[in-house]
Amino acid sequence: MSQNIITQAGAKRILSLANASILNTWAVGLWQNNYLPNYLTTFASLVESTFPGYARTFQSWGVGTFGQGGILTQGGRNYMCTASTPLQYIYGYFILDTVSSDLILVRRFDDGPFPIQHAGDGYAFTAQFDAVSQYLA
């Protein structure tokens, strides 16, 4: 899987975190446009998925697990289409701070995109927050 791209706004937000409860305002979602993210990516750069049954998910990041290489993982997510819809492709996921509206992280799937068109189509994955960023300034 490719590395996360921590956005410039996300890096600033991460550095300003006072406590882990702020992490619980972070939502994980999917995007559907063929976009190659970089550290200047904003939420406006992405087209969020809209298939029936889709919704951003929340989970406590404060109890995540740091694995090898400083990777914080948090629970599996399963996004499932619940009815037929015009074809859309899922290119990756994002983490959005729903309080500040800052795009914290965006990751393009290495093995995607994934087509979503019929009830039962879906994608499951475990969100990861790497301690590595393209933004080093």
Q: Which stretch of 18-27, 34-43, 49-58, 122-131 has the lowest confidence by average pLDDT?
A: 18-27
pTM score over 0.95: no
- Residue-range definition of the domain harbouring residue 51: 5-130
Please report whether residue 13 resides in a domain. Answer: yes
Number of structural domains the chain divides into: 1
| Higher pLDDT among residues 135 and 25, named by residue | 25
Domain assignment present for 136: no
CB-based contacts of 88, cutoff 8 Å, min separation 6: 32, 49, 50, 51, 115, 116, 117
C-beta separation of 28 from 127 below 8 A: yes
Compute the distance between CA of residue 85 and CA of residue 72 in angstroms, rounded to an integer. 34
pLDDT at 52: 95
pLDDT, tens digit (0-9, with 9 covering 90-100), for 57-116:
886 554 444 444 555 566 677 899 999 999 999 999 998 988 889 998 899 998 889 999
- Exposure string over 9-18, b if 16+ CB within 10 A, otherwise e: bbbebbeeee
Place of tokens 């999917």: 30
State residue 131's pLDDT score: 53
Residue 137 domain flag: no
Look at residue 57 and tell me if it is in a domain: yes
Q: Is residue 86 part of a domain?
A: yes
